[in-house]
A = this chain, B = another copy of it.
Amino acid sequence: MPVNKIKKYHQIQEYIKKRIQTQKYPPDSYLPSESDFCVQFGTTRTTVRKALDELLKEGFIVKEHGRGSKVVERGKYLGLLSIKGFSGSTDYKVRTKVTVEPKIVEWDPVIGFPLSEDEKSSKCVYFQRVRYIDDQPVVLENNWYALNALEPIRSEEFVEGSFFKTLSQEYLIEIMGAEQELRSVPASRDIAEKLGITFGTPILHISIRFRTSWPNLNLYGDLYCNTTEYAIRNSYFL
């Protein structure tokens, strides 16, 4: 029979992760040194380093030889697609407007992924946002998630206006991965109007499923991007 013993390095890893998520270890600050953690948890550097290595792989920290382990600003959405110059840049004024407040609805068949039985048995929470760059609407974003997995969150409660930051800091939910499908399609009348473009203009349609650290919680997204001015960009390394 499986024993499922608790692993010491995993406990330390989760402890530090929680402190990061709740801003006890704020972004850009340095964690206590490895030997500090050794004393704190009554263990050896081998085990502490294993925990830190895991957090490094998960993207919570970066290590600097001779200096320490630094907490990184979370929520770069891994290698996800982002608008050119979006993340961490001040080239453009990016603004987000919630055009449909989170509300409970039936699942929308436009979601490009098969739902689990668990999800199908539940209603879902839906909200819509529009992303503006330099006061121009560029991305129309529809979002869904299963009501039985997570309660509705009012947009005024979003931490720094970000849904993902809210999940991390308020619910300790992390994005574990994502799958996307991309298509180039002509703009429908509805979308053309919302993005202020002419009917039929080629736009980028992206369907996303985010996998989270909660096994039964997936986030579904349906994005329409006007790429005439700003391209969508992503990058991967190592």
Contacts and interface: CB of A to CB of B under 8 A. Distances in A.
Interface residues of A, number: 34
A75 interface: no
A128 B203 CA distance: 26
A100 interface: no
Contacts of A185: 184, 202, 227
A78 B78 CA distance: 13
Given A57-B57, A79-B79, A235 B202 contact: no
A31 B190 CA distance: 56
Interface stretch (A6-14, A36-44, A137-145, A173-181): A173-181
A196 to B, nearest CB: 16
A236 B79 contact: yes
A182 B236 contact: no
A207 to B, nearest CB: 8
Nearest to A177: B237
A197 B225 CA distance: 23
Nearest to A225: B184
B202 A58 contact: no
**Most B-side CB within 10 Å, residue of A78, A176, A177, A231:** A231
Contacts of A186: 202
Interface of A: 57-58, 78-81, 84, 176-186, 202-204, 207, 211, 225, 227-228, 231-238
